[in-house]
């Protein structure tokens, strides 16, 4: 029997889940951030300013910037100290309530916070937020760090701001380690835009939802009804007993990765569909698909957990 993905009702909406404004350390006012994303063809964003005392613990109200073609999800980037390397935690919380009780985290400088990251992210998830581990490569996230966030829904596997600023935008290695431990996490591509540099419009999610509303988008994110991209589109993924089949926009490479070194690919000119045998994944509990176009731009599926 063939199992097809992306069959949930609705349509795809393009959005960025990690963005900053003058409410924290961004260069643009919230309204201008929303205007620029809508003008660039986005359907939604989440404004996730730094949830720190020095900025007044902002959960920025962006409902006034909604219109017929654009919406927002309230959110914030949560912090506390410290990771294994002694640096501050960074976790994105999308769909965070406006009245979320802040931790005692006054500033970016090192200090011993009174609340652990486990407690903080558990509280945010219990309050209804979609929790994503931010820029693991840039942060220097360890595997033991990752285990301290059991409430996480997703991991940033591409952060455009980090890619532009310091070439540490990739989070796939950390993500694969978490999948190998059996954690059923999804993956997101984001901008982490501050607009001090060209750190915008570089990574996004395509969310399949019944409508472009905060409630429908948040529900679809939590259900994993999305893929991530820096350019290409993934139209469908079908899983049979022996193969995985992918339909996409024109690309040069379609790859499948699994646990350990398990991987396979097909290459061609202007591929829009491909079928890859699953024999190399006989002992892998999961697979994920990447499509790569002629410019090196990528789109990533969420993992598919195999029932061997």
- DSSP codes joined into one string, the chain: --EESS-SSSEEEEEEEEE--TTTT-SS-HHHHHHHHHHTT-SEEEE--B--GGGT------GGG-BTTBEEEEEEEE--S--TTSPPP-EEEET--TTPPPPS---SS----SS-HHHHHHHHHHTT-EEEE--HHHHT--HHHHHT-TT--EEEEEEHHHHHHHS--B-HHHHHHHHHTT---EEEEE--B-SSSS-SSS-EEEEEESSSSHHHHHHHHHHT-EEEESS--EEEEEE-SSEEEEEEEEEEEEEEEESTT-EEEEEEEEEEEEEEE-GGGTT-SEEEEEEE-TTS-EEEPPPEE---
Q: Is the pLDDT of residue 23 over 80?
A: yes
Record: fold of 234-305 = Immunoglobulin-like (2.60.40)
What is the per-residue pLDDT for 251? 98
Task: Return residue ranges of the chain for CATH 3.20.20.140.
Answer: 10-229
**Token digits for 83?**
């990771």
Quickly state the pLDDT bin for 152 (edges 50, 70, 90).
very high
What integer pLDDT is reported at residue 3 of this predicted model?
Answer: 76
Outline which parts of the chain fall under CATH 2.60.40.10: 234-305
Percent of the chain scoring above 70 in pLDDT: 98
* pLDDT (0 to 100) of residue 2: 64
The pLDDT value recorded for residue 172 is 97
Q: In the prediction, which pLDDT does 113 show?
A: 73
Residues 242-281: tens digit of each pLDDT: 999 999 999 999 999 999 999 999 999 999 999 999 999 9
Question: In the predicted model, what is the mean pLDDT of residues 168-191?
Answer: 97
Residue 192 falls in which region: left (phi positive, over 0), alpha (psi -120 to 50) or beta: left
Query: pLDDT digits over 202-252, tens only?
Result: 999 999 999 999 999 999 999 999 999 999 999 999 999 899 999 999 999
Q: Regarding the domain with residue range 10-229, which homologous superfamily does it belong to in the CATH classification?
A: Metal-dependent hydrolases (3.20.20.140)
Task: State what percent of residues in the chain have pLDDT above 90.
Answer: 91
pLDDT at position 53 is 94
307 or 178, which is more confident: 178
pLDDT at 1: 47
**Is pLDDT of 107 > 70?**
yes
Average pLDDT over residues 282-302: 97
Q: pLDDT at position 267, please?
A: 97
């Amino acid at each position: 029997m063939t199992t097809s993905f992306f069959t949930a009702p609705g349509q795809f909406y393009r959005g960025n889940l990690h963005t900053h404004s003058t409410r924290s350390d961004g260069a643009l006012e919230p309204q201008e951030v929303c205007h620029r994303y809508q003008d660039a063809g986005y359907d939604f964003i989440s404004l996730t300013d730094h949830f720190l005392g020095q900025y007044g613990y902002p959960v920025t109200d962006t409902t006034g910037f909604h219109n017929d073609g654009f919406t927002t999800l309230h959110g914030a980037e949560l912090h506390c100290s410290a990771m294994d390397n002694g640096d501050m935690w960074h976790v994105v919380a999308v769909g965070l309530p406006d009245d979320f009780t802040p931790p005692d985290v006054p500033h970016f400088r090192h200090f011993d916070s009174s609340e652990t990251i486990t407690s903080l992210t558990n509280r945010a998830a219990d309050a209804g937020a979609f929790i994503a581990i931010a820029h693991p490569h840039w942060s220097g996230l360890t595997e033991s760090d990752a285990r301290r966030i059991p409430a996480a829904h997703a991991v940033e596997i591409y952060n455009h701001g980090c890619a532009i600023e310091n070439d540490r935008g990739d989070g796939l290695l950390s993500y694969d380690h978490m999948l190998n431990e059996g954690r059923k996490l999804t993956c997101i591509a984001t901008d982490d835009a501050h607009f001090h540099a060209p750190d915008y419009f570089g990574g996004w999610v395509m969310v399949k939802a019944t409508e472009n509303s905060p409630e429908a988008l948040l529900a679809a994110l939590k259900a994993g009804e999305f893929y991530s991209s820096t350019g290409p589109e993934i139209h469908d993924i079908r899983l049979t007993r022996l193969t995985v089949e992918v339909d996409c926009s024109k690309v040069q490479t379609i790859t499948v990765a699994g646990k350990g070194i398990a991987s396979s690919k097909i290459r061609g000119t202007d591929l829009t569909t491909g079928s890859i045998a699953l024999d190399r994944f006989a002992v892998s509990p999961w697979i994920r698909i990447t499509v790569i176009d002629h410019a090196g731009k990528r789109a990533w599926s969420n993992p598919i957990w195999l029932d061997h």
